[in-house]
Amino acid sequence: MSDRDFVGDFLYSLAMIGIHLSRFSEDLITWSTSEFGFVEFSDAFATGSSLMPQKKNPDMAELTRGRAGRLIGNLVTLLTILKGLPSAYNRDLQEDKEALFDSVDTVRSALELFSAMLPELTINRERMESLANDPQLLATDLAEYLVGKGVPFREAHAIVGKLAASGKRLNALSNEEFRAASNAFGEDVREVFDVRRALQRRSATGSPSPENISRQIARWRELLEPE
């Protein structure tokens, strides 16, 4: 009669859902800023500023982020109730209901909101691809290129580190500058600075190759398909 472990486990799971939604919200909020410009919220899920006419506030994502604290608080509430109770039923246990029901309602509404909000996002593919093509992001790929030519990784890491610190963008370096850094660099070094090829090379399980991403999308669509 005094066992509430199942409630604690359930509240923990709901709190973790809230934390994941909070982190996702933070990503979307950051990506919607002018500094990033990756996504734009639909007017149905954002509000204007009472002062700045050009501003669009990602209110629904911010509220979802804030409610993670409420879900964590409900879990702590239950654990605090339980921590000092002697064996058998005590009237304190009636206080578990408010925390439990509130967490269920909070998570349900947050999930319903996200399922409606995400399809309405406008994705700025050109902006995202432009920034992803920054050659400095491919410094590791350049080091791996040298490894493929027989250079030990520690040495390759140091070589590319010096090139990156030269003040020039890596793809702007001349063939002579590459060869001055290492004789292992060949004419094919230019192929490294192709973000699509770089992603295709990341083919290990869990890596972000297009094939792996497509496989995961198909897997989750099958899992989430209503019966």
In SS3 terms, the chain reads as CCCCHHHHHHHHHHHHHHHHHHHHHHHHHHHCCCCCCCEECCHHHCEECCCCCCCEECHHHHHHHHHHHHHHHHHHHHHHHHCCCCCCCCHHHHHHHHHHHHHHHHHHHHHHHHHHHHHHCEECHHHHHHHHCCHHHHHHHHHHHHHHCCCCHHHHHHHHHHHHCCCCCHHHCCHHHHHHHCCCCCHHHHHHCCHHHHHHHCCCCCCCCHHHHHHHHHHHHHHHCCC
| Series of mean pLDDT values for 10-residue runs along the chain (227 residues) | 92 98 97 94 86 81 96 96 89 92 97 95 95 93 96 97 93 94 94 92 88 94 86
Instruction: Count how many domains the chain has.
Output: 2
pTM of the model: 0.83
Instruction: Say yes or no: 62 and 116 in one domain.
Output: yes
Instruction: Say yes or no: 36 and 120 in one domain.
Output: yes
* CATH number of the domain encompassing residue 172: 1.10.40.30
Model pLDDT for residues 152-195, shown as the tens digit of each residue: 999 999 999 999 999 899 999 999 999 999 999 999 999 999 99
- By residue range, what is the domain housing residue 63? 5-125
225 in a structural domain: no
What share of the chain has pLDDT > 70, as a percent? 100
